[in-house]
Amino acid sequence: MAAPSSCGPALSLRVVAECGLSKARACELRLPHGPVLSPVFMPVGTQGTMKGITARQLEGLGCRICLGNTYHLGMRPGPELIKQANGLHGFMNWQQNLLTDSGGFQMVSLVELSEVTEEGVRFRSPYDGEEILLTPEKSIQIQNALGSDIMMQLDDVVSSTLTGPRVEEAMYRSIRWLDRCIAANRQPDKQNLFAIIQGGLDPALRTKCLEEMTQRDVPGFAIGGLSGGEAKDRFWRMVTLSTDRLPRAKPRYLMGVGYATDLVVCIALGCDMFDCVFPTRTARFGSALVPWGSLPVKNKQFAKDFRPIDENCDCPTCRRYSRAFLHALFRSETAAMHLLTVHNIAYQLNLMRSIRESILEQRFPQFVRDFMRAMYGSRERYPLWAVDALASVNITLE
């Protein structure tokens, strides 16, 4: 029997350039709300908005795709209300592309409030205590109502540090749930359903999941179940195992990854798409992302520093405000978090653009060397896992 298909004309991927040494590549994803150039970092808007930045500002920074959370949007304000607003695009006044997650991650983040069975995930609402059953069909129904350009399958998510039979159970259930999600999608010609590779840190389980899921004709694949506190040496090996076995002609989305070094390394390992709350969350704690790590502007050492966060950054915050101003503002005004969020998102998007440009110009390995030198100063400070991961794809660090 033929494997289920969810493929329609809603997504196409063109590989524009590939690194001659590593697995890095520059692609163009054609989606219903316009093209997206990869590698791409996608900011996370849990409830239809980014914390600390408006949709217009995000668009002004060049963002062409961001995330919404199916679980939280399904709870509040609810899919029916959003559907009346012509979907999540209309509701949040966002003219670019949207990716919605499936709600599966809440199995880990709200583990004390959830119970998993073959039918689905039973949650107790953190808002009012009401019991809710999220099935693969219900997840897709909500995502169809939200009208996202990319939808994620509901998968059985377990902690990345978990071992034992529960990991295997979750992997096989995720395959079965993928088939149910494909069958439930009412708009395959408008909304792209991505599969999520599971299998924990077990190479055999992850390989089996890859073999099964790549038989399904879905528009794209995500690498899930990682970036949850596992050792980085095991993390990167699961990433490269996955990209080795994913089809070249479809996008590869590594979920939950947002640290700059992780992004650079995983692009070298063949990933195209990333998301993480890190840049917005770290802004709320008073830190700005910079090529040499982070700048804690809330600290008193910046009270009389009249330089911008980064003299080489052209974002609205760096063009207009000093470290001293942001330091003073952070002590009493939430506006400081907003200005830092704008900068941090700009930093992530600019990093992606620089990486893409280096791939197009066939100088990605040198870009990586320059990035690592700027980030860590000396080779003795380079994380060993990153050195090993890059060496595995023929990028040696000086």
Catalytic residues: 101, 275
For residue 296, is the peptide bond before it cis, meaning its omega torsion is within 30 degrees of 0? no
- What is the arrangement of strands in the sheet containing 121-124, beginning at the earlier edge strand? 114-116, 121-124, 131-134
Listing from the earlier edge strand, what are the strands of the sheet with 34-38?
12-18, 25-31, 34-38
Q: Quick one: which of 47, 38, 105, 5 has its CA closest to 266?
A: 38
List b or e across 211-242, with b for residues whose CB sees 16 or more CB atoms inside 10 angstroms. ebbbebebbbbbbbbbbbebebebbbbbbbbb
Please report the DSSP string for 99-132 in residue order: EEE-STTHHHHTGGGEEE-SS-EEEE-TTT--EE
CA 343, 44, 247, 249 torsion-angle sign = negative
Contact 279, 343 (CB under 8 A): no
At a CB cut-off of 8 Å and minimum separation 6, what does 160 contact?
Answer: 200, 201, 225, 226, 227, 228, 229, 230, 235
